[in-house]
Structure 1
């Protein structure tokens, strides 16, 4: 079977990557694939569920590309000093410091404000005389960017500019990803400096002030790196949780009817099913083999790069019965949409809380919500990291 470059904008792959992963999985759980950047070769893609769990927690697969000179010719900057690009003991230290302030209590305290933002956005949608909108522009984007922006203390006028940079980092269209990365890092350096000079009640100010029992604190570079990760991961994934979940519901009217009939009983499980069925992160970021090792019976040579397909794992029939069916009554516990192991998404509680409020409010407010039949075919986000569409025209 031809193996497309999964990092390129192949329209057939973008429209249905699940069929491609299924064909690969039928031949085995781990495969060599093409990638557009030569510094990432050889690259291996893990598509089986059990093998994906193994790879996500494998101590022989590193996340820190800076120490091993894996990416020759690529210079690190402050934004790279984050949880996703470090390994123990540095990762352990960073996570401990961040967890002191990014707590469940802080997330739950946001609930009334998340509901308020949601209601205001849906009010604006309902006031449209044309009774139609791009759900991403009107709701799925402004909700999480406002929430994470307020949580971290990003000034409102900067959020649209930030959105452009973060999208270019994840799926470049107009500038190289590294250029967008550097511009965003420069902006965040200014923001961190401003918080150090004049702290507020936001999370970034709290991270500037936080100290461990032994006096350890986050450096300026680490603060920039954490702000970079939390801002991008804290909004882009939730945008696509809302839009992908809405697309799944509208494409399965029987499931939508079940959820409307019993939101109290089904909503939490429905969101987990959305994450399994068509989650916002299609493949993990790269891991790097420190040594020769084996995953799923496949040899992984030292120096190889490994991609874990969260999307492929979520549709593995060895784990889930009828994996290609969308079922809001399913119990999809153990899905890998938020990762697994030490790099499990620290923002998962915030994403779940936003998802619950967003879907309950959207479905209550617009009982006849439907995709706009005049909208044309979907336009997919490029690349193989983020799974989603650039527009979601709906009507009611």
Structure 2
């Protein structure tokens, strides 16, 4: 079994590197490919190899998805808000620092997720019915708080409501999109329009400043606080149904501002992203709930391996992914001197083509509408976090049985 775990981990790290570094490809996509090749893989390997590869892909993805969001400004479904401070640091010449902070946050998330998973498995299954009922109330309370403390509550509510309606429309009519993107493929044009294209259209011009790395400018207290807050948010969305790392990003803005504390916010969201993966596995084994496509793929295997084997694979994958993330952070220097305007337009063209490829004309429509909505916060001087209504409103509707 140990050889299957090790080989599956190495294979999964490779798959996770592809999904993390190539925008538009998610770990769920790679897990689906592995599941379709199950019969072929089982002819050579045991089931623990396949399961280890799937979970290692997910863990590696949570480490490396910060690279394209930092250097190119393209948000992944799990890094929608984190792309704002990370790409801003890159435009200040601190891209490598942003990626290294993200890697540090993910590593802290791995260390904290293992005891959290054990505690959740022992305590929460008996409380699951009450927890399921209260999800919408928690999200509603957080959204209400964020709107009330806004500089302009009226505009904040308007942006939140309109983006929420757009989210309901996009997810409700996702069946109109092409199957290439999978069931949740519409999230790519939705979040890319709100947090990618809309931001790049307003981005600075000129040449990319020289990239340098003098060190991580983050006090130890901020590292501890960000790690704990991010892990708590990741544990929450990892266990509760209907939530995702994008929801954790929005929750964290109520305690860590991405504009006032960008480095701590990057660290916290990265920790949340990785903890979400591990707690999703715990929820799968404890209460048989699938929180993402990777868990669904593992559940579809002909033989379920023990949870300890998959957790071991995830821990080993985290070590490899951390080293890979540090390696790719050094590519920041290649962006020095690039024309920012040309780079932004090139990224926008890539996002448009990718949206059309994954979701067809419907994806193009969603991207256009999301870009228009995402452009509003900069015009009325409210934070872009209120665009997270596109995720939070559908989650509330699902929790209250309205969708």
TM range (shorter): under 0.3
Say which one has the larger Rg: 1
Could you tell me the TM-score, scaled by structure 1's length? 0.27
Q: TM-score, normalised by structure 2?
A: 0.27
The structure with the largest strand share of the pair is 1
Structure with more of its chain in helix, by fraction: 2
Which structure has the higher relative contact order (CA within 8 Å, separation 6+)? 2
